[in-house]
Amino acid sequence: MFAEHLAPLVIQNDKKIVMLIMDGVGGLPLTPDGKTELETAATPNMDKLAKAGTLGQAIPIHIGVTPGSGPAHLSLFGYDPFKFFDGRGPIAASGVGVDVNTGDVACRVNFCTLDEKGNVIDRRAGRISNEIALPIVEKLKSIVIPGVEVEVAHVREYRFSIIMRGEGLDPRIADTDSQQTGVPPLKVTPTDPAAQKTAEYFDLFLQKARELIKDEPKANGMLLRGFGTNPSLPSFFDRYKLKAACIAVYPMYRGVSKLCGMDIIDFEGTYPADEFKTLAEYWDDYDFFFVHIKKTDSTGEDGNFDGKVKVIESVDQALPDLLKLNPDMLIITGDHSTPALMKMHSWHPVPVLLSASERAIPDEQSTFGERSCSKGALGTIHGTDLMPLILAHADKLGKYGA
């Protein structure tokens, strides 16, 4: 849709856009008459923006569909996830600086713990630290598979990526993670006969890896997920004429931003205030800033309602640092919902706050929350419609027809 009809309308100007994403911000009340995490949090700064701006709610992927982080961010960035999402392996690999090119096959891998019978007893190997994981990944780098080039790259803690390069590779391979414990990892199985050979390469890798790590106390097995090849995304600049930067702590979000052609900014610290400080430092260098807050999601996944409330409050407290930069267009939203009640991502619509001085029609809502957003003037829109809306509010999307 965008490439075909909207891209020709894009206008380049010097207005500045900030997309502030609180990962998994959407929530649910713990009791039927209770409030959600976002409704509970004291957010005087966001409420002020909500009062002056426009609210709405977004469906990241499809009504009823729970988004994974990769496709959810593609949607935020305006890329149809059904078209562009191609397994999270390439996105994760890209996030740690490994190029995944067309024809390569990448997957992401969790170390796991196997019992003596070979059954998975911990799908994340006790969430081993970087210090423990790095030397094990180093061992795996010694593996040679005749016929293909293999690259192994550590991502974070118990997670790493395997990338294979060579002729005739095909990413249509099922996950070996059954998402359960008490059973062995699944075999490497092609979902299309054309991927048979590729599956054999990965299986051979697993056989060799097993020998190398069999005596590890925790990381003595591995689970492969998200096989894919380079999603070949059109860049943010090609699509939107935006010089874009990513300010994010976690590799996954840096990875998907890089795939979209954003510059990835390195910085110290992990708090919202650190991210806003970085934003200020680079303010003159870019038109578009993607600022990612991870801990709203992590606390949600942990079922930590109060913790999630506190993270949201910490973002609100730091917000004046962002606001004093006076962005022409600020959107605050999430990539999906992660209700603490459910301890997982969910399909619920995501609250959206558009703040763009006189360009956003003020609705009658004066707080930023799920239910105020459900009554906001934007209505319920698809995640991929946010980018055109943002461009419009920054006077960057022209008229269709004369």
Binding site for a copy of itself (CB under 8 A): 1, 4-6, 9, 28-29, 32-33, 36, 52, 57, 61-72, 81-82, 85, 87-88, 108, 225-226, 341-342, 344-349, 358-359, 361-364, 370-371, 374-381, 385, 387-392, 397-402
Q: Which is nearer to a copy of itself, 9 or 145 (by Cβ)?
A: 9
Nearer to a copy of itself (CB atom), residue 55 or residue 291: 55
Cα(164)–Cα(151) distance, integer angstroms: 6
For the bound state, the minimum distance from the C-beta of residue 138 to a copy of itself, rounded and expressed in Å, comes to: 25
Q: Distance (Å, rounded) from C-alpha 297 to C-alpha 177?
A: 22
- The residue (of 5 and 139) whose beta carbon lies closer to a copy of itself is 5
Distance CA 232, CA 3 (A): 14
Residues forming a β-bridge with 112: 221
Which residues, in sequence order, are CB contacts of 21 under 8 Å at separation 6+?
A: 73, 76, 290, 291, 292, 293, 333, 334, 335
* Residue 12: CB atoms within 10 Å: 12
Nearest distance, CB of residue 217 and a copy of itself, angstroms: 26
CB of 80 to a copy of itself, least distance (A): 11
Q: Which is nearer to a copy of itself, 110 or 296 (CB)?
A: 110
Q: How far apart are CA 11 and CA 237, in angstroms?
A: 11
Looking at beta carbons only, is 118 or 398 nearer to a copy of itself?
398
Q: b or e along 14-30 (b: 16 or more beta carbons within 10 Å of the residue's beta carbon)?
A: ebbbbbbbbbbbbbbbe
Cβ 69 to a copy of itself shortest distance, Å: 7
Label residue 371 exposed, middle or buried (CB < 10 Å: 0-12, 13-18, 19+): middle
Q: Min. distance of Cβ 296 from a copy of itself in angstroms?
A: 17
By beta-carbon proximity to a copy of itself, the closer residue of 248 and 389 is 389
Which residue lies nearer to a copy of itself by CB, 7 or 145?
A: 7
Instruction: Give me the least distance between CB of 206 and a copy of itself, in Å please.
Output: 19
**Residue 70 or 272 having the CB closest to a copy of itself:** 70
Q: Which is nearer to a copy of itself, 276 or 288 (CB)?
A: 288
Question: Cα-atom radius of gyration of the chain, to the nearest Å?
Answer: 22
- Nearest approach in angstroms of CB 282 to a copy of itself is 26
Which residues make Cβ contacts (< 8 Å) with residue 389, sequence separation at least 6?
A: 354, 378, 381
Sequence letter at residue 15: K
Give 117 or 399: the residue with its C-beta nearer to a copy of itself.
Answer: 399
Query: What is the spatial distance between Cα 83 and Cα 124, in angstroms, rounded to a whole number?
Result: 30
Smallest distance, a copy of itself to C-beta of residue 150, A: 22
The answer to whether the CB of 365 falls within 8 A of the CB of 56 is no
Give Cβ neighbours of residue 284 (< 8 Å, ≥ 6 apart): none
- Minimum distance from CB of 167 to a copy of itself (Å)? 28
β partners of residue 105: 164
Query: In the 8-state DSSP scheme, what is residue 25?
Result: B
Residue 38 identity (one-letter amino acid): L
Q: Closest separation between CB of residue 266 and a copy of itself, Å?
A: 25
Which is closer to a copy of itself, CB of 188 or CB of 265? 188
Residue 308 C-beta: closest distance to a copy of itself, Å: 16
What is the distance between the alpha carbons of residues 312 and 322, in angstroms, rounded to a whole number? 15
Report the greatest alpha carbon distance in the chain.
72
Give exposure, 318-329, as e/b (b: 16+ Cβ within 10 Å).
Answer: bbeebbeeebbb
